[in-house]
Amino acid sequence: MLPQQLANGLLLGATYALFALGFTLMFGVLRVINLTYGFYFTLGAFLALWLTRAGVGLVLALPAAAVGSGLVAVGIDALLLTRLRRARADELSYLMVTLGAVLALYAGMAALLGPDIRRLPPGTIDEAAILLGPIRVTAAQLLILGACAVLVAALAALLRATRLGLGIRALAENPDAAALMGMATGRMAALVSFLSGALAGAAGVLIGLNFNAIHPYMGESMMLRGFVVVIAGGLGSVAGAIIAGLLLGIIEVLTAGYLSSGLKEAVAFAILVLVLWTRPQGLFGRSAAVRA
Amino acid sequence: MTLPPFLADLIWTYQNVIVALGVNGLLALAMYVVLAAGQLSLGQAAFMGLGAYSSALLSLRLQLPFTAVLPLSVVAPVGFALLVGGPTLRLSGVYLAIATIGLGEVLRAVYLNVDVLGGALGLSGIPEAAPIWLIYLILAVALLLLWRVGRSHIGRAMEAMRVDAAAAAAMGVDVRRYRLGVLLASAALAGLAGALSAHATDFIGPNDYGFEPAVTILSFALLGGIGSPFGPVLGAWVLTLLPELLRGFADVRLVLNGVVIVLAVLFLPRGLLAWRMRRIAA
């Protein structure tokens, strides 16, 4: 019983970590809490839905949906954020703009497509359970775990081992200095938008596949977990987000298994409040207190 | 009170809209209070829900009279504001915003999962004890109070914090105390609005206080502008009436609210009513 619970928790946690990856990248580099992130997540799931319905296999639909969401993210972020960046607006302005935009995007999508829950065509992925010793998992869950590992490794390699990654880190460290060194910071910010949006899209496809429920507001319902993961992990810390995501999944599953399934929904928020009271900079963040 | 028949008919026909205008006006003021001090709380819908649910339970389970229920309806929202907002007072503003969005999400799950709170069916049969005049009386009193406070040295301190919190602190403004004060005032106002709306419409449901209303309340305040408490109330009235007047708008009401926020922050930072209060000399 317990090994299965832990495995379920780990797999659930992998979905949270996957969701939070691009969100924390966006904050870490551009210092923007970008709430439109949830929409790119929804968009990725819908793109994959349309592609698989048209007969495209998952192997092709997944990267295509990720790239599509990334491109839309570049467009929307440029429209919303460029003006604020030029005006050196405070972080709350970014938060408000992206909050308004994401409501308009969700509601527009629900008005156009209808709010009902859609499912991927049967046979998109093998639904039979796979036995690993005493533990039962599905192919979708293994795919999420694998994708999570691959994407984290790819992101780390990009940030640590390439010239481009050096530029992104320079932008995160100090945008003005980066601009003075001759970096095209606008283009670099667009690239970060693309990466973040593509990660959101990929997460949307995989999580839509796992829960087999795709609807316009699916990004919104993941957002609370996303917040908890990025704050508990430390705003902007990729490693922190992964660990916090996995922990959150395990704690939720154990709560549902041993205490009550109704409490499961409140676990994430309880952790958020606890972290804010005791360690607001998160597990791996730098001090978050501001003097004012 | 006897009204001329045509007026009584008018009120009866449009009762829902008239209630919504009053309640949304109060919610806009709850948003104004925090924004005026440079804070962003997105918990007004959640605080309203706490006021609505706690007051409905007091009426339905304990059969308390409405005169006792109404003041008690601020207790739960203020308590949660302390729990959630307390640790964020010395952090950057995004933490309060995130924690308060999260509050709305988790409360929805709680309403859905707890039997006493009616689950997905919500609570119905709440006594219709809140007359329309009371809603507007409370709105008028709140407006007057905030107007007086806004013109006093407190309003001056709040504006200073909004423009530059560090400079305000250097000038001797106790920033953390003000932040806590505005958050609690906001929660109390939203709680009252929740109790009034629950007791004016007799039904409340778990989905009435989530993400969409939270963002909608922000759009009220940003459309009206926060130069004075009148702006947000005007914004609330415009955004409540528009979908009623124009049939085609009903479907895209939420899109409109979202777009209002984007345009207001990007192009109209002072709102529709870009008018700033004169302050009394200190």
How big is the CA angle at B95 (ends B94 and B99), to the nearest 5 degrees?
A: 120
Q: Is the ipTM of this complex over 0.90?
A: no
> Residue A146's pLDDT is what?
87
Q: Please provide the size of chain A in residues.
A: 292
With respect to residue B142, please indicate whether it lies within any of the assigned structural domains: yes
Q: What is the DSSP string of B12-57?
A: HHTHHHHHHHHHHHHHHHHHHHHHHTT-----HHHHHHHHHHHHHH
Mutation choice for B interface testing from A27, A92, A218, A281 by most B CBs within 10 A: A92
Handedness of CA B56, B216, B79, A254 (dihedral sign): positive
Domain extents in chain A: 22-217
**Selection from B201, B98, B25 nearest residue A96 by Cα:** B98
Bridge partners for A135 per DSSP: A132
Q: Please provide the size of chain B in residues.
A: 282
**What's the rounded Cα separation, in Å, for the pair A35 and A95?**
7
B105 to chain A: which residues are within 8 Å by CB? 221, 223-224, 269
> Residue B280's pLDDT is what?
55
Bridge partners for A136 per DSSP: A131
**Selection from B274, B197, B263 nearest residue B232 by Cα:** B274
Phi, psi of A132 (to 5 degrees): -115, 90
**What's the rounded Cα separation, in Å, for the pair A238 and A58?**
27
Number of domain units in chain B = 1
**What's the rounded Cα separation, in Å, for the pair B102 and A33?**
14
Q: What is the DSSP string of A125-136?
A: S--SEEEETTEE
B101 to chain A: which residues are within 8 Å by CB? 223-224, 227
Please list the pLDDT of chain B residue by residue as tens digits (282 residues): 566 777 777 777 777 888 889 899 999 999 999 988 888 888 899 999 999 999 998 888 888 888 888 888 889 999 999 988 888 887 777 888 888 888 888 888 888 888 788 777 888 878 887 788 888 999 999 999 998 888 888 888 888 888 788 888 888 888 888 888 999 999 999 999 999 998 888 788 888 888 888 888 988 888 888 878 888 898 888 888 887 777 666 668 888 888 888 888 888 766 666 555 655 554
Quote the distance between the C-alpha of residue B274 and its chain's center. Answer: 21
Give residue for tokens 């992964």. Answer: A242
Q: Which residues of chain A have pLDDT under 50?
A: 287-292
The CA distances from residue A63 to A18, B72, B162, in Å, are 15, 54, 44
For residue range A203-216, list pLDDT tens digits in order.
898 888 888 788 88
With respect to residue B236, please indicate whether it lies within any of the assigned structural domains: no
Mutation choice for B interface testing from A224, A255, A259, A277 by most B CBs within 10 A: A224
How far A238 CA lies from chain B's nearest CA (Å)?
18
Q: What is the CA radius of gyration of chain A?
A: 19
> Residue A80's pLDDT is what?
86
Mutation choice for B interface testing from A252, A276, A286 by most B CBs within 10 A: A276
Handedness of CA A113, A117, A120, A125 (dihedral sign): positive
> Residue A291's pLDDT is what?
38
- Among A83, A107, A266, beta carbon nearest to B106: A266
Chain A residues interacting with chain B (CB cutoff of 8 angstroms): 33, 80, 83-84, 89-93, 95-97, 99-108, 111, 220-221, 223-224, 227-228, 231, 262, 265-266, 268-269, 272-273, 276-277, 280, 288-292
Q: A216: which 2 tokens?
A: 């316009």
> Residue A69's pLDDT is what?
93
> Residue B50's pLDDT is what?
92
What is the identity of the amino acid at B253? Answer: R
- For residue A118, the SS3 value is strand
With respect to residue B156, please indicate whether it lies within any of the assigned structural domains: yes
With respect to residue B221, please indicate whether it lies within any of the assigned structural domains: no
Asked if B40 has any chain A CB less than 8 Å from its own CB, the reply is yes
Quote the distance between the C-alpha of residue A34 and its chain's center. Answer: 11
* Domain span at B125: 7-209
> Residue A34's pLDDT is what?
86
> Residue B226's pLDDT is what?
81
Beta strands in A212-256 (DSSP E): none
> Residue B93's pLDDT is what?
78
Other Cβ atoms less than 10 A from the Cβ of A252: the count is 24
Check B101 against A223: CB less than 8 A apart.
yes
B98 to chain A: which residues are within 8 Å by CB? 33, 227, 231, 272
Alpha-carbon dihedral angle through residues B153, B155, B156, B158, given to the nearest 10 degrees: 130
Given a contact cutoff of 8 angstroms between Cβ atoms, the answer to whether B25 and B184 are in contact is no
DSSP state of A281: T
Give residue for tokens 């005169």. Answer: B67
With respect to residue B76, please indicate whether it lies within any of the assigned structural domains: yes
